[in-house]
């Protein structure tokens, strides 16, 4: 019975996390105005369409990671992971709504496959919800937890985080300030959720 209850809780948390992630889209479609997060250094970063590939693949990685964590991760580590991700996403949504930001995208006239991939990204994601970068904090949180959960592959998790974060810059989906705030938020929420889990009644190792 205990195992069955835990399975039900894991599935429920997984559904909640996916639903929470999907809230990004109505927010993105309805936010208006705001300020650009571009700094002078961002002008030196040019569009490189090849980076659209890891940018899009990272979304599949998130889905796979959520399912993987819900089915294989130790229960209290999974609770820690879910709480950290939920807290980070919720705070970012509040920021998107109360302090709208946007990115300045380049005009793309090329017709090659990679340029069309970038246009596909632009067409399905309005240039709002820039700060903090959702791609950055989601990937970073997964990489941090996987780093400690599966340490034998730690260099792989680090590499994934670096590639995905760079892809947000070179697709011109985000500015440097978006990445900095997302990384800071992710680490703060990691420590906050860790504290909350450890303070919970009868916590097991996270």
| Interval 158-196: pLDDT, tens | 999 999 999 999 999 999 999 999 999 999 999 999 999
**pLDDT at residue 200, rounded to an integer:** 83
| Interval 71-129: pLDDT, tens | 999 999 999 999 999 999 999 999 999 999 999 999 998 999 999 999 999 999 999 99
**What's the predicted TM-score (pTM) here?**
0.94
Bridge partners of 36?
Answer: 102
Helix, coil or strand: residue 6: helix
- pLDDT > 70 fraction of the chain, expressed in percent and rounded: 97
Which candidate, 77, 75, 88, places its Cα nearest to that of 17? 88
Whether the CB-CB separation of 90 and 21 falls below 8 Å is answered with no
d(CA 187, CA 157): 16
């Amino acid at each position: 019975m205990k195992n069955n209850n835990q399975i039900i809780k894991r599935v429920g948390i997984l559904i909640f996390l996916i639903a929470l992630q999907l809230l990004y889209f109505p927010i993105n479609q309805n936010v208006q105005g705001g300020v650009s997060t571009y700094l002078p250094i961002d002008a030196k970063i040019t569009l490189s369409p090849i980076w659209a590939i890891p940018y899009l693949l990272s979304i599949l990685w998130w889905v796979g990671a959520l399912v993987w964590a819900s089915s294989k991760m130790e229960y209290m580590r999974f609770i820690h992971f879910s709480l950290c991700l939920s807290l980070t996403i919720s705070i970012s949504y509040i920021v998107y709504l109360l302090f709208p930001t946007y990115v300045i995208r380049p005009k793309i006239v090329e017709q090659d496959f990679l340029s069309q991939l970038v246009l596909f990204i632009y067409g399905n994601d309005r240039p709002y919800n820039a700060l903090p970068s959702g791609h950055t904090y989601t990937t970073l949180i997964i990489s941090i937890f996987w780093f400690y959960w599966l340490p034998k592959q730690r260099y792989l998790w680090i590499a994934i985080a670096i590639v995905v974060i760079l892809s947000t810059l070179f697709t011109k989906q985000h500015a440097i300030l978006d990445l900095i705030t997302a990384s800071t938020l992710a680490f703060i929420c990691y420590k906050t959720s860790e504290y909350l889990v450890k303070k919970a009644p009868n916590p097991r190792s996270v």
